[in-house]
Chain A
Amino acid sequence: MVPLKRLFTSTLGRKYLMGATGFALVLFIVLHLLGNLTLYSHNGDAINAYAAKLDMLGVGKIILEIGLVITILIHIVTAIQVTFTSKNARPIPYESLKSKGGPTKSTLGSRNMIITGLVLMVFLIVHIVQFRFGPEIEDGYTATVNGVMVHDLYRVVAETFMQLKWVVFYVGCMCFLGVHFRHGFWSMFQSLGMINPRWSKPIYALGFILAVLLSVGFLFIPIYIYATQGGAA
């Protein structure tokens, strides 16, 4: 196992880890948005039914959740190591360092993946505490879907997004997600060596399209709920 350990502590190996965990997170986040589109329906039945189906996975769901947490932890720990390696590689900074343009992909966003990433980390903690460990059936959050009593997840979400401060927080964080994703999507292909000259440009462009679709898809959920029900609370 020593050689494999060496592999994953080399600068290239760390990028394999970043790329692979990035891939898993991208896959997750696309599925997550597709699931959350149920929140755009007028009442809570769609999301509650969807959540109830996920709950039926039982242990399988817990395993998936633990896998996701481990993936995120590997992503974050590796990201911090990668960032420190690079900071140490130039102890004396330039007085001025300017991009040369041309083929560069160096932007404010791509140079600061660690900043957008750490914001996302804080977001994830808040988000999980709020919704995954929010009010449960025992707290009276129940609804009936097709005659069966289920957890009223919709109420948990709606009550949050009736408060302007949470709408602002979520919208802001989703902008950071978009910026992180914009460089991340292309970067993960390059990190894993999964790119060739013909696909490089299309993949970079697709990263932009997906980043916009994802962040806009997510950030309109709180806006939509606030706009339709904000006054009701």
Chain B
Amino acid sequence: MKKMRVRLKIWRQESPQVKGHFEEYSLNDILTDMSFLEMLDVLNETLTKEGKRPVEFESDCREGICGTCSLMVSGQAHGPVLGATTCQLYMRTFDDNELISIEPWRAKAFPVIRDLVTDRRALDRIIAAGGYVSVKAGPHADANAMLVPKDLSDRAMDAAACIGCGACVAACPNASASLFTSAKITQLALLPQGQPERKRRAINMVAQMDKELFGSCSNLGECEAACPKRISIQNIAIMKQEYMKAALAADFRAGMGSADGGA
């Protein structure tokens, strides 16, 4: 198997309160077929053996489905490969002895907890503000009782591919969460199950997004390029329509901004 040398420049930060700094490391004998996170595992084993504190980073499934891994690799969210998460990135992508910088996602809404780990609960709070459908649980409904046109279900499923990793925010020069929020609004707005809460959902999720102090969308499209699931900024256009319709709907104005909403 082929081996390579790696030089790393990693952001180290003890806690949210203290200032962080970069530290440099170098590794020999990294297999080119290792994943990026396996390479970091090797680094951490080395550091542990030397009695030093390992580099904190997040991962869970390591197969691109959970959205936990979240590294800014040499200035690009999830590294240079389009449509892939950090855990799907392989060392053969890099040159031998290349200097790779690793930073945490940077946004006011994503405070650093330690090293490369950030608090991304702001995204959860946006979902909690309306990214769900309320159902009366009862007997299992018949399959095909509710018909959905194929093109709409396709578009809804494309939006639903979002794994909530936050790469859109991380890559956006404005640190805007528009792609995430719009995907969560669109996936429900296009389906019959999402209709009853449609207006309230758009209003409340956008209000929560603003409350978390994310930036404003300038239509740069960098989020779509960074998204490991290739979610289109078309969803942002749909969010703009949803929000405008909801805000202009007279019957709704009275309830605007109430997060609990009633029903």
State how many angstroms separate the Cβ of B211 from the closest Cβ of chain A: 10
- Alpha-carbon gap, A6 to B210, bound state (A): 11
CB of A191 within 8 A of CB of B240, answer yes
CB of A99 within 8 A of CB of B236, answer no
Which residues of A lie under 8 Å from residue B219 when comparing CB positions? Answer: 105, 110, 183, 186-187, 190-191
Contacts A102-B82, A102-B225, A191-B240; is A11 near B206 (CB within 8 Å)? yes
Which residues of B lie under 8 Å from residue A87 when comparing CB positions? Answer: 215
CB of A96 within 8 A of CB of B75, answer yes
State how many angstroms separate the Cβ of A183 from the closest Cβ of chain B: 8
State how many angstroms separate the Cβ of A105 from the closest Cβ of chain B: 4
Is B160 on the interface with A (CB-CB < 8 A)?
no
Is B91 on the interface with A (CB-CB < 8 A)?
no
CB of B256 within 8 A of CB of A3, answer yes
Contacts A12-B243, A15-B217, A89-B109; is A196 near B234 (CB within 8 Å)? yes
Which of B74, B217, B256 is the most central at the interface, judged by chain A CB atoms within 10 Å of its CB?
B217
- Alpha-carbon gap, A91 to B82, bound state (A): 27
Is A192 on the interface with B (CB-CB < 8 A)?
yes
**Which residues of B, 79-123, contact A by the 8 Å Cβ criterion?**
80, 82, 101, 103, 106-109
CB of B76 within 8 A of CB of A100, answer yes
CB of A104 within 8 A of CB of B213, answer no
Is A149 on the interface with B (CB-CB < 8 A)?
no
CB of A6 within 8 A of CB of B103, answer no
Contacts A6-B256, A85-B216, A105-B219; is A98 near B75 (CB within 8 Å)? yes
- The number of chain A residues with a CB under 8 A from chain B is 49
Which residues of A lie under 8 Å from residue B218 when comparing CB positions? Answer: 82, 86, 110-111, 113, 187
**Which residues of B, 216-240, contact A by the 8 Å Cβ criterion?**
216-222, 224-226, 232-234, 236-240
Is A161 on the interface with B (CB-CB < 8 A)?
no
- Alpha-carbon gap, A188 to B108, bound state (A): 27
Contacts A11-B216, A88-B213, A193-B238; is A99 near B175 (CB within 8 Å)? no
State how many angstroms separate the Cβ of B261 from the closest Cβ of chain A: 15
Which residues of A lie under 8 Å from residue B163 when comparing CB positions? Answer: none
State how many angstroms separate the Cβ of B200 from the closest Cβ of chain A: 13
CB of A86 within 8 A of CB of B175, answer yes
- Alpha-carbon gap, A97 to B225, bound state (A): 13
Closest B-chain residue to A187, C-beta based?
B219
Is B174 on the interface with A (CB-CB < 8 A)?
yes
**Contact size class for B?**
35 or more
Q: Which of A98, A99, A104, A183 is B74 in contact with, Cβ under 8 Å?
A: A98
- Alpha-carbon gap, A220 to B107, bound state (A): 44
- Alpha-carbon gap, A200 to B240, bound state (A): 15
CB of A90 within 8 A of CB of B107, answer yes
Which residues of A lie under 8 Å from residue B22 when comparing CB positions? Answer: 95
Contacts A14-B216, A100-B80; is A196 near B237 (CB within 8 Å)? yes
- Alpha-carbon gap, A190 to B178, bound state (A): 12
CB of A12 within 8 A of CB of B215, answer no
CB of A95 within 8 A of CB of B221, answer no
- Alpha-carbon gap, A215 to B222, bound state (A): 27
Is A73 on the interface with B (CB-CB < 8 A)?
no
**Which residues of A, 76-125, contact B by the 8 Å Cβ criterion?**
82, 85-106, 110-111, 113
Which residues of A lie under 8 Å from residue B175 when comparing CB positions? Answer: 86, 89-90
Instruction: List the 9 closest pairs (A to B, CB-CB), nearest first.
Output: A193-B240, A89-B215, A86-B174, A96-B75, A86-B215, A98-B75, A89-B175, A193-B241, A100-B225
Binding site for A on B (CB under 8 A): 22, 72, 74-77, 80, 82, 101, 103, 106-109, 171, 173-176, 178, 206-207, 209-210, 213-222, 224-226, 232-234, 236-241, 243-244, 247, 253-254, 256-257
